[in-house]
Amino acid sequence: MLVVRGLHVRFGQAHILQGVDLAVGPEPLAIVGRNGMGKTTLCQTIMGMVPGEGEISLDGEGLAGRPPNRVARAGLALVPQGRRTFPSLTVDEHLRLVAQGPRARWTIERAYATFPRLAERRRNGGTQLSGGEQQMLAIARALLMNPRLVIMDEPSEGLAPVIVDHLAEVLRGLAAEGTGLLLVEQNLRMAAAVCGTVAVMVTGRIAATMPAADLVADEALQRRYLGVAAGSH
C-alpha cells in the first residue's frame, strides 16, 4: 500500500531523516525507536506537513510534494501525537466535521459503537476529555475519513494499560478488515500486540526490520536499539 524510498528531511543544518526506506503492505507495520530518532518527522513528512526529498506513494500513486489535504484525499489519515483535539468543538462536532455519509464503511454510529465512552461524552468539548478519551476521539476522527491506510503516532502515550489493551484490539480489527496501518510506538508491548513486523528507527534511518516476537524475546537487541530491558514499556 504505502512505499517510501530514499526519504530525506533537513531542518537547517540538522539532517533529521537520512534516506528512509519502508513499505507497508496488507499486514500492519510498527516503527519503534527512542525519542529523537525522527519517528514523528517521518509521519508528518508522509502526510505532507513537512517538506522532504524522496519518493512517497500509496497504491502506486505518487504523493511526494502534495499538500496535506490532497494526501488525505488520496487515502491517508494521521492520528497525531498529542491527539490535537479542538477545545471549541464537542466530540460530536469533531466527528461530524469529517464524516463521509451514511453509506461509508465508517460512520459516526459505528465510531460510537467502537468507542462507547465517546457516545457518553458526545456533548463535551475536546479538551474536557481524559487522555484516553481524547485518543479515542483522535482515532475515530481519522477512521471517519475512511482511509486506505492510517498512520498512528504514539497512540498509547500516557494511557492506562486497560485502555492500551482496548486500542490494540481495535487496531487488530482494522488490520483484519484490510485497512493499512503504520503504527509508530515507543511501547514495544503495544507494537507487538498489533503488528507482526517491527522496523527500528535509529538516528533518522531504518536500522533493522524483524518479526516483532524476535525483538520482544531478545533483551540484547532491545538494549541495543531501544535502550530498555525486556518487559519495559
Q: Which pLDDT tens digit goes with each residue over 54-71?
A: 999 999 999 999 999 999
Q: Which contacts of 21-26 are long-range, i.e. CB under 8 A and separated by 24 or more positions?
A: 21/206, 22/199, 22/206, 22/209, 24/149, 24/180, 24/181, 24/182, 25/1, 25/180, 26/1, 26/178, 26/180
Amino acid identity of residue 56, one-letter, is: I
Q: What is the mean pLDDT of residues 178-191?
A: 92
Query: What is the pTM assigned to this prediction?
Result: 0.89
Q: Give the whole-angstrom CA distance, residue 44 versus residue 88.
A: 24
- With H, G, I as helix, E, B as strand and everything else as coil, classify residue 8: strand
Given pLDDT bands bounded at 50, 70 and 90, which one contains residue 228?
low
Burial 19-48 (b: 16+ CB within 10 A, else e): ebebebeeebbbbbbeeebbbbbbbbbbbb
Instruction: Please determine, for residue 163, whether its predicted confidence score (pLDDT) is greater than 70.
Output: yes
